[in-house]
Structure 1
C-alpha cells in the first residue's frame, strides 16, 4: 500500500511539523510506503516518521528541478525523476492508496486540489487533511462553495485529522473498512 504525502517546506508551526512526523510513523506502522516531494519541511518530517519504522520512502521530483531544488532529505530511500508537473501529479495519484495533505504553499495547494479532483472523477482515493492549516483551507473551500457535495460528486473520501491520535483512529477505521470490503459475503 502506498500513501502520498503533500506538505510544504515551511511548516506553519512546530506542532504541525511534529504532527507530520507522527503521521509518517503511523502510516509505516499500518504498512504503507510513502511517496512525497523529497525535500525539507513537512515532507521531511513525514519521511522521518515513516523511515523510523522501516517504510520505503520515495522522493518524486522533476528531472529539470532536482539540482535547483537541492538534495533530497536524508530519509528518502529511493527516488523517481519525472519530466513535468502533470506526469508527477499523475504518478502520485495513480500510485496512491491514500493521500495526506497538510499546510504548504501554492505547490501543496495544487497537489491537494488535483487529488480532490482525481478522487471525485477518477477513483475515490481517501484524502486526509491534517493539522489546523489544512483544516482552515477545507473550511474556507466549503464556506465559499469551491467544494461541495452533490449526488454525482460525493465527498465521503475526505477526512480531517486534528491530531496524531485522530489520524491513527481514522486510518485504522479505513483499514477495517477495506478488510470488510474484501471479505467474502457472510463475514470472515
Structure 2
C-alpha cells in the first residue's frame, strides 16, 4: 500500500539522512527548511529553523543568485550531450504491483527501445517505474531530483542524476532536454508540469512539442472540462485542446513521440 503521509507535513527531526543539494543532513538538521522554502515562504510557518537573520550570509538574495546560477551550470553540463529524450511524469504514490506502475515501466522500456533517453523526477512511484523500464533494456535513465522536506533521494534505476534545490531550475531541464512529455496519472505535481508545458506550446515558446496523456479513463474528464469550460467560454482558442493527445497504451504514446522526432505530427 502506498504511503499516505501528506507531503506537506514537516520533516521529522529524528529522521535519517536527507539530501539538500550537495549536503547530506540528519537529525535536527534534516528538519531545516529547504532552499525553495527559504526563497518563497517568507512566513516560515511551522519550520524548526534558525531565524533568517542567523543565516543571512548564505541565504541573502545575492547569494541565492549564485546558487541558482550553479544549478543551471550543473544541469546544462550534465545533460548537454543527452541526445533525444522524453520527460515522463506521474504520481510518486503509484505502488509497485499496480497497473499504473506496470504502465509506467512499459513506457520507459519502449522509449529506450525507440532510442530516447527517459527523464523523470527521479523519485518513487511512476517515476521509478519509468526509470526502471529504461534501465531494464540498457537505456539512458535520467532523474532530476528536488530538495523536499520529505525527500527520499533518487530511485535506484537512475543512471544519470542531478539534484536541484529550486523547482524552477529543475523545470527548465525537463523542457530543454526533452522532445516531448508523456504524462501518466498523477496529482498536483503532475498537473503542474502538464499545464506549464501546454502554456509554453500555446504561446509558441516551444514548438513541435507533443504532450501525450496516457489513460483515457483518468484524463478524459479533464480534457472534457478544458473543452466544455475553457474553450466554450473563450478562455482558450478553438483547437487549443488539440495540443493534447490522449491514448491508452504505452505503445501509442511512444509511437507519437517517434513520429514527431521523425518530422511528423503529434
Give the TM-score normalised by the residue count of structure 1. 0.81
Task: Tell me, yes or no, if structure 1 residue 174 matches structure 2 residue 257.
Answer: no
SS at match of 1:69: coil
Aligned to 1:33: 117
Q: Distance in 1 between matches of 2:102 and 2:183?
A: 14
Q: 1:161 to 1:7 in 2, by over 3 A?
A: same
Deviation (angstroms), 1:174: 3.1
Q: Distance in 2 between matches of 1:155 and 1:11?
A: 27
Asked if the contact 2:180–2:257 (Cα under 8 Å) also holds between the matched residues in 1, the reply is no
Q: Distance in 2 between matches of 1:145 and 1:45?
A: 33
Task: Tell me, yes or no, if structure 1 residue 91 matches structure 2 residue 173.
Answer: yes
Aligned to 1:4: 87
1:10-43 Cα offsets, whole Å, 9 max, x none, are 2399222221111111111111101111111111
Task: Extract unaligned runs of 5+ from structure 2.
Answer: 1-83
SS at match of 2:123: coil
Q: Distance in 1 between matches of 2:169 and 2:261?
A: 29
In terms of Rg, which structure is larger?
Answer: 2
Q: Distance in 2 between matches of 1:155 and 1:177?
A: 21
Q: 1:169 to 1:35 in 2, by over 3 A?
A: closer
Q: 1:156 to 1:136 in 2, by over 3 A?
A: closer
Q: Distance in 2 between matches of 1:96 and 1:167?
A: 15
Q: Distance in 1 between matches of 2:219 and 2:156?
A: 25
Q: 1:35 to 1:149 in 2, by over 3 A?
A: same
Q: Distance in 2 between matches of 1:33 and 1:172?
A: 12
Q: Distance in 1 between matches of 2:170 and 2:221?
A: 26
Match of residue 15, structure 1, among 81, 91, 99: 99
Match of residue 222, structure 2, among 137, 143, 157: 137
1:115-144 Cα offsets, whole Å, 9 max, x none, are 111222211211111113234322332222
Give the TM-score normalised by the residue count of structure 2. 0.59
Asked if the contact 1:101–1:134 (Cα under 8 Å) also holds between the matched residues in 2, the reply is no
Deviation (angstroms), 1:89: 1.1
Q: 1:19 to 1:154 in 2, by over 3 A?
A: same
Task: Tell me, yes or no, if structure 1 residue 103 matches structure 2 residue 185.
Answer: yes
Q: 1:84 to 1:103 in 2, by over 3 A?
A: same
Aligned to 1:59: 143
Task: Tell me, yes or no, if structure 1 residue 164 matches structure 2 residue 247.
Answer: no
Asked if the contact 1:89–1:114 (Cα under 8 Å) also holds between the matched residues in 2, the reply is no
Bigger relative CO (Cα 8 Å, ≥ 6 apart):
1
Aligned to 1:185: none
Q: 1:129 to 1:80 in 2, by over 3 A?
A: same
Q: Distance in 1 between matches of 2:134 and 2:222?
A: 25
Q: More deviation in 141-150 or 67-76? A: 141-150
